[in-house]
Structure 1
Amino acid sequence: MLTDAWINSSLMLPLDEDAPEFLDSMRSALLQLSQDRDFWIRSIYPRLIVDASDEFKFRKESSAPSGFIAWKSGERLVESARRTLIAGAKSYMGPGRHYVNKHGRFAHRYLDQVLMGQSAPGSYIITAYAPPNGAVPLSGSADAAAFAVPELGLASVRDVSQAVVRAVQATVEALEHYRSSGSLAGFEAGVAQGISYEMTSAILGIAENSDGADISIEWDPVTPAPGELDSHFEFRGSDVDPLSKAATRLAADASSEVSTLTGRVHLLAKKQAGSPGVFGLDTLSGGRAKKVRVRLSDEDEYHEAVRAHEEDLALEVSGRLEKEANLSWLYDATVVRTLGPISEFSRPSRSAIEGQISLFSEQVDE
């Protein structure tokens, strides 16, 4: 029996051709398919053309009609789903509070094995198909040799997928601990199970600006499903605050002073090969540094700065704040999250006098 849990549809397929009811059952199944074209396109056809696959479904509730989402929110959901898979794949290689670029090539080799499916009704759903029988070379320098001689180092795609789910599950457990205690200690304790800055910030992107969101996993029966892992995880809009705080804490380097700033992005620098990118931040959160140059630690986050610049959104970043001559720099910086419109975070001018009319509506960039 094929089922689609998102729309509560099912299809009974007879397997015994010698059974007296075989023809009637097959006609009934074909009639059902002819009357429900969406079920065929959405649930059955992808399984016929794709090899055995474990399915990850990332769903976000929105005020749009069922199956639709605001364009920018849809882009954010796709990006957050990708970052969830990347963060979980990194945790397969070993625990870490903040990976930055560590294990990045391995995680992207895992992602190269994954297919993205069409959205399904419900609200808006991103589906990822990961082949359980696939393999990921542990070392990029020995890809061909690794497949020829497995002893050189291959990771099972199913094992990496389990690491993704284990990290998501640990993050959900930390959120539950926060709801009951108000403490972020669960995030610190869960690093050994896969919680990291990368995972918390990815799930933050799924939860924010939503009326509810969830991640579900359906393991392909070709390989026995792991019994110790949950298969459905729910998130609330109220989870954004603890996830943001946890991301900031996990990104912090205990050996240096870390600052978290909110501001308007300007002076974007084009990325160079091997460089994560640099941008200017006109801070809105107060403090001694009014303008800061931000040097990112992860190139995947550069596009968030570009988006914040293009859409006039406030950006929250965290890093090591240092002063060099007349410039303030935020080194090893990470994007905690993208906030709302700049107008909602504007810093009042210190020189403003009550009743005085400003001649300029916006400060000129450096």
Structure 2
Amino acid sequence: MTKYVPAPDELEKIEPADFETVLRTLGWSQSGGIPGLARQWVKLDDESEPSVVIPVRKDIRDYRRRISEAISVIYSAQGKSAEDIVIQFLLPGSDEITNSKDEETIAGSILWESGEKQMLGLKEMLVAAAKSTESRESHFRNRRWKAASRYMSQVRMGQTRVGSYVVTALSPVGALPIDGRSGVYESNFGPTGRDVVNTLFSALSAVPESSDQFIRHSNAGVFLEAVQDGVSLELVRGIKDNLGSSASVETSVSWSPKSDDRFALDRVDFEPKHVMPLEVASVYLSRQEKSSTVTVVGRVVKLESADPEEEGIVTLQILEGSEAPHIRVHLGAEYRKAVEIHGRSLLMVARGKQERPGRDYTLTEVTEVRFFDSRGNSESLTDSLIEEGYEDASDPRGD
């Protein structure tokens, strides 16, 4: 077996806590050591295995050598899986998604077109999962590309396995970078990498179940119901491309021990029997009109109402929350406040159902409307509106 030996600078990146977390998941237990310097780990189910000594601090002089020695023990104890384990040390907090095809090979090779479709299909599935994590929709078209781009920029391709028909993707567990702020991560902002992988397996597991229901009852509506699980037209297309003409394809995940909030399943299989239901799902989902709940931030650029004291429609120039450049928002009693802020360089936040019945995007069933200035100072703005007679400015519905 060829050993992958990390370079000296890579050894420096390995955190003692990450090393010990992985050892624990492999069945090793702590047994003694030197307080403040190192901890010894042993495999209780096999006393013939040597122990592993892990420094507790990275500033110890021989840290690199000790970590290198520990990796050598891992190779001795874990056999073929050792290389994957070592990579996990260097990429802490990564879920490894494995996609393998049951296909005839010659000297471990497959047809170029088949391999290419497999890789593109897996990418389509990952992109669709990233979009569905942000918003459950039946058909994204060109929407939610920012969410997909943010996620895919952090995914790494794992090493090719023996057979060349196994593709791996290393997906980060933690926070994804914030748009427009290179290298800046915020755990409270948007979905994490683990959220995306959970969505992927939620959606993948829903497709075979929906396919079986369709075969039994010939009701394509089951695919629309599966949208709540993360299924979308883009995901279905990815599965179809990934399967191709193969006898079967398996997508599985090796969950990182860095996070416990993982989806219940870790393996989903597709076979030729799923091809016909997937074709039906593609057609059915492509016909669905886009409708999703969004929260948008924009500037009022147009007003439409027969009576400013009654309900009306405002057009927002969208700054955040939707790929649509403009959205027409249907307002009730809040309309008079929108009239007040029009032309004052103030911003409006609105939450509701985004739809596109024709050429224009609209926001209906509005459940929230707020106003604030360019510095995000909504509290002082609310006070000013109250002074001007809009006592219900903090609750635009007035209830």
> Normalising by structure 2, what TM-score?
0.52
Picking from 154, 158, 169, the partner of 1:117 is 158
Q: 1:198: Cα distance to partner?
A: 0.2
Looking at structure 2, the residues matched to 73 and 60 of structure 1 have their Cα atoms a distance apart, in angstroms, of 10
Asked whether the 8 Å contact 2:131–2:144 carries over to 1, the reply is yes
Change (3 A) 1:64 1:36: farther
Tell me the equivalent position of 1:16: 31
Looking at structure 1, the residues matched to 140 and 228 of structure 2 have their Cα atoms a distance apart, in angstroms, of 13
Tell me the equivalent position of 2:335: none
Tell me the equivalent position of 2:126: 85
1:164 aligns with 2:207: no
One-letter code aligned to 1:85: L
Asked whether the 8 Å contact 1:14–1:26 carries over to 2, the reply is no
1:197 aligns with 2:221: no
Asked whether the 8 Å contact 2:134–2:191 carries over to 1, the reply is no
Looking at structure 1, the residues matched to 88 and 95 of structure 2 have their Cα atoms a distance apart, in angstroms, of 11
Q: 1:154: Cα distance to partner?
A: 3.5
Asked whether the 8 Å contact 1:216–1:232 carries over to 2, the reply is yes
Change (3 A) 1:179 1:120: farther
Looking at structure 2, the residues matched to 76 and 190 of structure 1 have their Cα atoms a distance apart, in angstroms, of 25
Equivalences for 1:101-140 in 2 at 5 Å? 101-121=142-162, 124-137=165-178, 140=179
Q: What SS is found at the alignment partner of 2:49?
A: helix
Q: 1:179: Cα distance to partner?
A: 3.5
One-letter code aligned to 1:115: R
Q: What SS is found at the alignment partner of 2:260?
A: coil
Asked whether the 8 Å contact 2:31–2:42 carries over to 1, the reply is no
Q: What SS is found at the alignment partner of 1:16?
A: strand
Tell me the equivalent position of 2:250: 214
Q: What SS is found at the alignment partner of 1:110?
A: helix
One-letter code aligned to 1:157: G
Change (3 A) 1:20 1:104: closer
Q: 1:172: Cα distance to partner?
A: 2.5
Q: 1:46: Cα distance to partner?
A: 1.8
Equivalences for 1:1-366 in 2 at 5 Å? 15-16=30-31, 24-26=48-50, 33=75, 38-41=80-83, 43-65=84-106, 67-121=108-162, 124-137=165-178, 140-141=179-180, 143=181, 147=185, 153-226=189-262, 229-252=264-287
> Where does the alignment leave 5 or more consecutive residues of structure 2 unmatched?
1-18, 20-24, 34-39, 53-70, 291-399
Q: 1:238: Cα distance to partner?
A: 2.1
CA RMSD of superposed structures (Å): 3.5
Give the number of equivalent residue pairs: 240
Asked whether the 8 Å contact 1:212–1:236 carries over to 2, the reply is yes
Q: What SS is found at the alignment partner of 1:224?
A: coil
Change (3 A) 1:16 1:69: farther
Asked whether the 8 Å contact 2:31–2:41 carries over to 1, the reply is no
Q: Deviations over 1:210-255 (max 9, x none)?
A: 111111122211111435x321111001211211221122112569
Change (3 A) 1:130 1:66: farther
Looking at structure 1, the residues matched to 41 and 210 of structure 2 have their Cα atoms a distance apart, in angstroms, of 55
> Where does the alignment leave 5 or more consecutive residues of structure 1 unmatched?
3-9, 256-366
Asked whether the 8 Å contact 1:136–1:156 carries over to 2, the reply is no
Change (3 A) 1:108 1:189: same
Q: Deviations over 1:291-340 (max 9, x none)?
A: xxxxxxxxxxxxxxxxxxxxxxxxxxxxxxxxxxxxxxxxxxxxxxxxxx
Q: 1:14: Cα distance to partner?
A: 6.4
> Normalising by structure 1, what TM-score?
0.57
Looking at structure 2, the residues matched to 134 and 69 of structure 1 have their Cα atoms a distance apart, in angstroms, of 36
Looking at structure 2, the residues matched to 198 and 20 of structure 1 have their Cα atoms a distance apart, in angstroms, of 46
Percent sequence identity over matched residues?
A: 23
One-letter code aligned to 1:107: A
One-letter code aligned to 2:31: D
Change (3 A) 1:25 1:14: farther
